């Protein structure tokens, strides 16, 4: 069982995930910075493998802790439930709504061009990323780490811990994409607010990891960061919308964020 008195496994998960992902992404980062011969694109397969770091580490630690049953339990939350069909649709469309609606309202109110109102995948590799990366990340962030954190901390604190590590984990990818320091820092509230939203959905659906995966997939389905670094407005609007929505959840659904996880689930 998950021991609510033990933070060691969760801290080890975050440390190993950052170390693995950063190691795999370092060649592309160095090529982007012209430290080693480029082009950096030839190292992108390693970047993609690094994006699966949370899943890889979560599976290894689960296997080491509880063998096959531990690994299987990590996937339990991905099982679809007919009663959550509405939640699945809501999770998939929410991130896009939080981008397109505010952008449209801003454009209509200001009369200014804001560029596209939506940023769907525009290449096969982006569609592949939409499927693979949410699973590869969420099996670690919300599958392995979050239940352990919820066993000890309040949902809000658990969200902050996951969200801050989630933001840091994107550092090398943002540099590789060419984002500025200001743009990278301004993304931190997006990950923190997103983590609050994911935790809320996870608890409201009785620990459905699939809902978290679909929320993450929805972010790829309408990805404001595709406008960076040239156009900062979509990412800024998207961040503000996520923050506003998260604050609304904290104000309206205090019960969900005021109690610890109702059950301590089997170790993943």
Domain boundaries along the sequence of the chain: 78-258
pLDDT at 70: 80
Q: What average pLDDT does the structure give for the chain? A: 91
Those residues whose C-beta lies under 8 Å from the C-beta of residue 230, and which sit 6 or more positions away, are none
Task: Look at phi and psi of residue 111 and say left if phi exceeds 0, alpha if psi is from -120 to 50, else beta.
Answer: left
Cis bond upstream, residue 196 (ω within 30): no
Yes or no: say if 202 and 146 are a contact pair by the CB < 8 Å rule: yes
- Specify the residue for token string 């009785």: 206
Considering just the CA atoms, what is the radius of gyration of the chain in Å? 18
Q: Is 184 helix (H, G, I), strand (E, B) or coil?
A: helix
Neighbouring C-beta atoms of residue 263, cutoff 10 Å: 12
- Quick one: CA dihedral 126, 127, 131, 132, positive or negative? negative
pLDDT at 156: 96
Percent of the chain with pLDDT over 90: 79
- Specify the residue for token string 């996951």: 162
pLDDT at 66: 78
- Kind and range of the H or E run holding 244: helix 233-252
pLDDT at 259: 66
What would the two tokens of residue 191 be? 């990950």
Those residues whose C-beta lies under 8 Å from the C-beta of residue 151, and which sit 6 or more positions away, are 2, 3, 4, 260, 261, 264
Residue, of 111 and 201, whose pLDDT is higher: 201
- Quick one: CA dihedral 82, 198, 135, 97, positive or negative? positive
Q: Mean per-residue pLDDT for 234-250?
A: 96
CA 76, CA 180: separation in Å to the nearest integer?
A: 39
CA 102, CA 146: separation in Å to the nearest integer?
A: 30
pLDDT at 47: 96
pLDDT at 5: 46
pLDDT band (50, 70, 90) for residue 223: very high
Cα 77–chain centre separation = 16
CA 217, CA 95: separation in Å to the nearest integer?
A: 9
Q: Mean per-residue pLDDT for 149-154?
A: 93
- Specify the residue for token string 């407005």: 233
pLDDT band (50, 70, 90) for residue 230: confident
Q: What pTM did the predictor assign?
A: 0.91
What would the two tokens of residue 85 be? 């069909």
CA 188, CA 213: separation in Å to the nearest integer?
A: 20
Residue (of 134, 151, 146, 147) closest to 211 by Cα position:
134
Q: Mean per-residue pLDDT for 204-231?
A: 94
Q: What is the pLDDT of residues 30-89, one digit of tens each?
A: 999 999 998 999 999 999 999 999 999 999 999 988 788 888 988 999 999 999 999 999
């Amino acid at each position: 069982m998950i021991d609510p008195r033990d933070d060691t496994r969760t801290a080890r998960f975050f440390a190993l995930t950052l170390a693995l992902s950063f190691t795999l992404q370092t060649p592309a980062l160095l090529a982007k910075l012209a430290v080693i011969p480029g082009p950096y694109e030839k190292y992108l397969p390693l970047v993609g493998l690094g994006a699966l770091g949370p899943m890889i580490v979560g599976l290894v630690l689960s296997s080491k802790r509880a063998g096959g049953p531990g690994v299987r339990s990590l996937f339990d939350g991905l099982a679809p439930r007919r009663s959550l069909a509405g939640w699945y649709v809501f999770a998939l469309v929410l991130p896009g709504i939080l981008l397109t609606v505010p952008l449209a309202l801003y454009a209509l109110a200001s009369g200014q061009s804001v560029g596209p109102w939506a940023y769907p995948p525009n290449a096969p590799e982006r569609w592949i990323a939409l499927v693979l990366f949410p699973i590869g990340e969420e099996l670690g962030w919300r599958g392995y780490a979050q239940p352990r954190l919820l066993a000890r901390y309040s949902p809000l604190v658990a969200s902050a811990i996951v969200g801050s590590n989630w933001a840091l984990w994107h550092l090398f990818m943002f540099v590789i994409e060419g984002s500025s320091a200001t743009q990278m820092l301004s993304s931190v509230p997006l990950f923190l607010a997103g983590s609050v939203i994911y935790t809320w959905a996870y608890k409201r659906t009785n620990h459905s990891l699939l809902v978290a995966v679909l929320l993450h997939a929805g972010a790829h389905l309408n990805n404001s960061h595709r406008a960076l670094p040239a156009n900062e407005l979509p990412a800024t609007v998207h961040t503000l919308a996520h923050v506003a929505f998260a604050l609304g959840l904290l104000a309206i659904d205090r019960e969900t964020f005021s109690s610890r996880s109702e059950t301590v689930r089997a170790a993943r």
